[in-house]
Amino acid sequence: MNKCEVMNEIKKTVLRITGIIIEDENDNIIGCHHIYPIVYAIYIVEELEKVFGKEVSDIFTENDYTIWELTNLADAIMNKCRSSVETLQVI
């Protein structure tokens, strides 16, 4: 899975949960310009774990708020999944 595919999966997840379309790859998904309850971030992480694996939640403990930028999150997911034993596949 390439970075574009990972970003598209993140965008689909964000849209499904929040109703917000993320168009800019530098957009911060939890930025204050997006009007939705911050608790939705938990649901986003939960869904991303279903797609990419449990190790995704570790990304958020190892980074600051900039990890929520679409491009940064996609890079982090790809790196985390690359280092895991399982192959990165969308379910």
Residue 88 has pLDDT above 50, yes or no: no
**Residues 41-55 pLDDT 10s:** 999 999 999 999 878
Which residues contact residue 56 at a Cβ distance below 8 angstroms, ignoring those fewer than 6 apart?
45, 48, 49, 77, 80
Residue 87 has pLDDT above 80, yes or no: no
The sign of the torsion formed by the CA atoms of 29, 26, 46, 51 equals positive
Could you tell me the pTM of the whole model? 0.85
Q: In which residue are the tokens 């940064």 written?
A: 72
- Helix (H) or strand (E) segment spanning residue 45: helix 40-52
